[in-house]
Structure 1
Amino acid sequence: MSSTTTEQKFVKTDLKISSKTPGWNLDAWKYLPTIAGSQPKDLPVIVMAHGFSANKLMSLADYAEEFASLGYGVIVFDYRRWGTSDGKPRNVVNVSDQLEDYRTVIKFARQQPEFDPQRVVIWGTSFAGGHVVTLASEQELNLKAAIAQCPFLGQDSTPPLSWGVLRTVLKGVADVLKRAVGLGPIYVPAAAHPGRVGVMTTPDSYDGIHAIVKQKGQYPNEAGCSRHVNASSIFAFQYYNPNATGAKIACPVKVLGPKEDVLCPHDRKKQLARMSSQVELYEVPGGHFDLYPGTPNYPESLAAMKEFLLKRVPPT
């Protein structure tokens, strides 16, 4: 299925991309800029995915439409087990699989006649911003550039102990043991208010992530819906450290960093910028969720991304 905007700036098409798991497809959108009188070809292409527990319906179209209107091809996808992509059990976080899904879509993009295989850009936000930094250090991917918005780059310290954190950790341990014997996951809310059971429990997490939900039902994390993310995903924040490969970054990386970010500590972003001359840190006011579409800082952060793209990977 395809559609063209009334302004005729881009065409959006639904895609199914074969994943590394036989029979499981990644659900994706492809955006192509409308070029009068010609078929788009040799376009730079931006590969995009969302962050922890989120899916492409949650505001990613806003970014893709902006980039396509500038003259870029864009592919937006959901990871295996998430959103409208295939895979079971559902809503299970697997960092290795998510990184592999990025590589799969990058390879797919390079095989499409509309795109220039030498001008592939990757984009990620929050947890996926960490994926972008990790992948940017893989020289064999030969990426042209990358954008990491409010990225998770590792934790500075263990979260303060509370009854909610303790209960979540215990559920996480039980989830590991249950799945080790072949049983289904134990689920907890991905976002919860401080002190409650959940993975993201900073003061702005619950309201912040729901602010980027366009329609009810796109993010099943409401009260009474505990089946949202596997409980052991809480350990991903402890053991995933994208900054570990920061010194090996092999392409220009634009990092958008909210200075009051407590979910993905801002100090880690500054550390990354010190580790590699390839990293351009752009600081914006506010917290983790204060630069998404509909927030006061969105226009400024979007303008910084566009400037970076036009400088590093011009569309013509």
Structure 2
Amino acid sequence: MPHQDIEFDAEGTTIRGWFFPASGTTDKAPTVVMAHGFTAVKEMELDRYAEVFSAHGINVLVYDNRGFGDSDGTPRQEIDPWAQIRDYRHAITYASTLDGVDPQRIGIWGSSYSGGHVLVVGAIDRRVKAVVSQVSLISGYDNYRALVRADFIDGYQTLFDTDRANRFEGKEPATVPVVAANPMDPAALPSADSWTWFTETSKNRAPNWKNEVTVRSLEMMTEYNPIDYIARIAPTPMLLMPAQNDVVAPTIFALRAYEEAREPKKITILPGGHYDAYGPGFEASSSAALDWYLTHL
């Protein structure tokens, strides 16, 4: 499906991405705004979702998060969750100015870290008329403690404190690998399936992905709790899609969060683990999201 390169201003930072126009219509159509999760760039399967949605009459705006991929932003390789949330809102504003977009029918899609972002955006931005959140980060605090071994927590805290002191002295932010072949080595996502997905997907689809993230990004993740917002999404319809056996964003956190959400809501359990949503579970994840948008947009 052909798409257009786009860029927009996010209060001084240029965000770049793609616009997939809705197929089969010359009228104003609903639009889905989507960005990727923890350090991932748009080439890492987001075009496949966009193609599914646009083939069924939905415009799609896909972009790289600030500091990653084709977007501007400094420090590079840094994830500030609240800056990324504001950028979703900037993207909605930009999308609403485009020909062929019905600004009254805007949906948002997020996965993993951005799956948490769309829960927050859906709660605070009433321009959003449908939310889809898959394999979501529900609580940064809980997720961090689920990913990092208990006996490593103090070491990471020392890393946070040292980096903060160094930045105060004017030094560059420290970084750590996103993934490592050995789960015992320091990494932001220390799981075997994270190493496999990021290295294979970047090699095959996204050579501009970098195996690097700032230490400050991990500290900010521990402060970030999208679950605090999930009860406020209603009356906007929300679809939550945890994976059956997710060890990166543990399934149980999403199941508990779903109980706190209010109607209209739906939960669909995806097959496999965290990254299977982009591979063997792609048909399940994309078709469930499409049905949600067709119903509510």
Are the counterparts in 1 of residues 43 and 206 from structure 2 also a CA contact under 8 Å?
no
The aligned residue for residue 144 of structure 1 is: 129
2:208 aligns with 218
1:301 equivalent in structure 2: 285
> In structure 2, the residue corresponding to 1:289 is in which secondary structure?
helix
SS at match of 2:167: helix
Shift of 1:215: 3.5
Structure 1 residues 189 and 75: alpha-carbon distance in aligned structure 2, compared to 1, 3 A threshold: same
CA distance in 2, matches of 1:14, 1:46: 16
- Offset, 1:106: 0.5
Q: Look up the SS of the partner of 1:17 in the other structure.
A: strand
Counterpart position of 1:58: 44
Cα-Cα RMSD: 1.9
Q: Tell whether 2:175 aligns with 1:191.
A: no
Matched residue, 1:311: 295
Q: Does the 8 Å CA contact 2:22/2:60 hold for their aligned counterparts?
A: no
Give the 3 Å change call, closer, same or farther, for CA 156–90 of structure 1 in structure 2: closer
SS of the counterpart of 2:230? helix
Instruction: Give runs of aligned pairs for residues 171-186 of structure 1, distance below 5 A.
Output: 171-186=159-174
Once the two structures are TM-superposed, the CA of residue 240 in structure 1 deviates from its matched residue by 0.9
- Maintained 8 Å contact 1:168/1:231: no
Distance in 2 separating the partners of 1:198 and 1:233: 12
Find the counterpart in structure 2 of residue 43 from structure 1: 29
The worse-fitting range, judged by mean Cα deviation, of 202-211 and 127-136 is: 202-211
Letter in 2 for 1:124: G
Residue correspondence of structure 1 range 218-257 to structure 2 within 5 A: 218-221=208-211, 228-250=212-234, 251-257=236-242
Pick closer, same or farther for the CA change 1:191–1:64 going to 2, 3 Å.
same
Q: 1:34 to 1:247 in 2, by over 3 A?
A: closer
User: Secondary structure at the residue paired with 2:3?
Assistant: strand
Contact 2:67–2:76 at 8 Å: present in 1 too? yes
Deviation at 1:236, TM superposition (A): 2.9
Maintained 8 Å contact 2:110/2:117 = yes
Task: Tell me whether 42-51 or 244-253 shows the greater mean CA deviation.
Answer: 244-253
State whether structure 2 residue 15 is matched by structure 1 residue 30. no
State the partner residue of 2:198: 209
Which of 260, 274, 277 is matched with 1:291 structurally?
277
For the 8 Å contact 1:173–1:232, the answer to whether it is kept is: no
CA distance, structure 2, for counterparts of residue 285 and residue 76 of structure 1: 25
CA distance in 2, matches of 1:190, 1:49: 18
Kept in 2, the 8 Å contact 1:189–1:199? The answer is yes
How many angstroms does 1:162 deviate by? Answer: 4.4
Corresponding residue to 1:97 among 78, 83, 89: 83
Deviations 1:67-112 (A, max 9, x none): 1111100100112211111122211111111111111001111122
Question: Is residue 48–residue 75 contact of structure 1 (8 Å, CA) maintained in 2?
Answer: yes
Higher helix share: 2
8 A contact 1:134–1:242 mirrored in 2: yes
- Pair 16,169 (structure 1): closer, same or farther in 2 beyond 3 Å: same
Shift of 1:172: 2.9
Alignment map for 1:81-160 (pairs within 5 Å): 81-138=67-124, 140-154=125-139, 155-156=141-142, 158=145, 159-160=148-149
Distance in 2 between residues matched to 1:25 and 1:185, nearest whole Å:
22
Q: Which residue is 1:12 aligned to?
A: 3
Aligned-pair identity (%): 29
Amino acid paired to 2:122: A
Q: 1:303 to 1:291 in 2, by over 3 A?
A: same
| Number of residue pairs the alignment of both structures matches | 289
Deviation at 1:307, TM superposition (A): 1.7
8 Å Cα contact 2:41/2:206 also seen in 1: no
Give 1:50 shift: 0.3
Tell me the alpha carbon deviations over residues 129-154 of structure 1, each in whole angstroms, 9 at most, x when there is no partner: 0000111111x432110111101011
